[in-house]
Amino acid sequence: MRAGWFEKTGPAADVIVVGDMDKPVAGPGEVLIRLHASGINPSDYKRRANVKASPEFPRVVPHSDGAGVVEALGAGVIGLAVGDRVWCYNGQWARPMGTAAEYISLAQRYVKRLPANTSFVEGACFGIPCMTAYHAVHLAGSLEGKTVYVPGATGRVGAYAVQFAKWRGARVIASTGGGAASVKAIEALGADVVLDRKAVDLGARILAETGGRGVDHIVEVDLPGSIGFDESIIAERGSMVSFGAASAPTMPVTQIGRRARNMSLHFIFVYMLDEATFEATCAGIIEAAEAGALKHRIGGVFPLEQMAQAHHAAETTSGTGHVVVTM
């Protein structure tokens, strides 16, 4: 089969190779998928680019997310049939073989049916970004009547967070530093209010939009860089979810003000959710997709033979949407 891989870390053009390798087989409890699309996430290109650490395996076929058609079923697999359209997640988690290939064999729990109204390219975005957004939004519990704030709403996760929050009945306030085009893109996703993230009066504007009480839930891409601001706009008994730390790996934590206001803080790492949460998250994504509640921001689609260019695009155009490799 054709696949893309790297055997050393560094710039995409220097280390990514596209060539032939053995086709996997479906072992017991596994599903062999003929992949049509593979989604690139920040974890993929950051690990490939990290020259301070050698790859964990002699050869790494990257990417955790993908979509395609069931090719074969291993012993004990039930509920799926050859020819079914599916999407998958955690493809390259703790193993060398990811979705940047024509075939992948995965444990059945990582393989879900692809809604009929969803393309393979869109399905390749369901894994890390969509699952992170769904889980981050739903940690707030029932969203009906609540206000959710999503900074960085043009990002892969942020765009889905806006949509899931709106779909579940929340009022959504979003912000962006990308100018008029980004504002228009976020409004198209369903946000009720879109503000300039660089504005000096951003906090005052958000408080004004909530009648002074603050927002109930924040889906935060950069908690270390934003926690002071977020605390100034969060309501009593509000919650924050951190799915990234773009500016720093650590931050100071003071208890007094937060504890007195019954605030809660969640950290999530979508690769390692418990099985019940995995299942609920996947089911919710499928439900939203089938209901037509999801729009997918696709920033670029590249053939497998251009995987190095695809990685470069994903690294340099993160605010424009998902970059997907097709087979």
CB of 163 closer than 8 Å to CB of 294: yes
Q: What is the mean pLDDT of residues 225-246?
A: 89
- What confidence tens digit (pLDDT) does each residue in 35-62 have? 999 999 999 999 999 999 999 999 999 9
- Percent of the chain exceeding pLDDT 70 equals 97
- What confidence tens digit (pLDDT) does each residue in 111-135 have? 999 999 999 999 999 999 999 999 9
The pLDDT value given to residue 31 = 98
Q: What is the CA 284 to chain-centroid distance, rounded?
A: 14
The pLDDT value given to residue 156 = 92
Local structure of 321: helix, strand or coil: coil
CB of 6 closer than 8 Å to CB of 62: yes
- Percent of the chain exceeding pLDDT 90 equals 86
129-271 placed in CATH 3.90.180.10: yes
Domain locations in the chain as residue ranges:
2-125+296-326, 129-271
The pLDDT value given to residue 113 = 98
How does residue 259 score in pLDDT terms, banded at 50, 70 and 90? Answer: low
- What's phi and psi for 189, nearest 5 deg? -80, -10
> Is residue 257's pLDDT more than 70?
no
C-alpha span between 174 and 187 (Å, rounded): 9
What pTM did the predictor assign?
0.95
Nearest to 44 by CA among 264, 314, 237: 314
> Is residue 263's pLDDT more than 90?
no
CB of 204 closer than 8 Å to CB of 173: no
DSSP-H helix ranges across 118-195: 120-123, 131-138, 156-167, 180-189
How does residue 110 score in pLDDT terms, banded at 50, 70 and 90? Answer: very high
The pLDDT value given to residue 318 = 72
The CATH number of the domain covering residues in 2-125+296-326: 3.90.180.10
First vs last Cα of the chain: how many Å apart?
A: 10
How does residue 247 score in pLDDT terms, banded at 50, 70 and 90? Answer: low
pLDDT mean across residues, the chain:
94
The pLDDT value given to residue 248 = 75
DSSP letters spanning 6-28: BSS-S-HHHH-EEEE-PPP---T
CB of 124 closer than 8 Å to CB of 67: yes
- What confidence tens digit (pLDDT) does each residue in 172-181 have? 999 998 889 9
CB of 195 closer than 8 Å to CB of 206: yes
C-alpha span between 140 and 5 (Å, rounded): 39
C-alpha span between 180 and 88 (Å, rounded): 35
DSSP-H helix ranges across the chain: 12-15, 42-49, 120-123, 131-138, 156-167, 180-189, 202-209, 223-233, 256-260, 275-290, 307-316
Half-sphere exposure (CA, 13 Å, Cβ side) for 207?
14
C-alpha span between 274 and 87 (Å, rounded): 19
- What confidence tens digit (pLDDT) does each residue in 54-96 have? 999 999 999 999 999 999 999 999 999 999 999 999 999 999 9
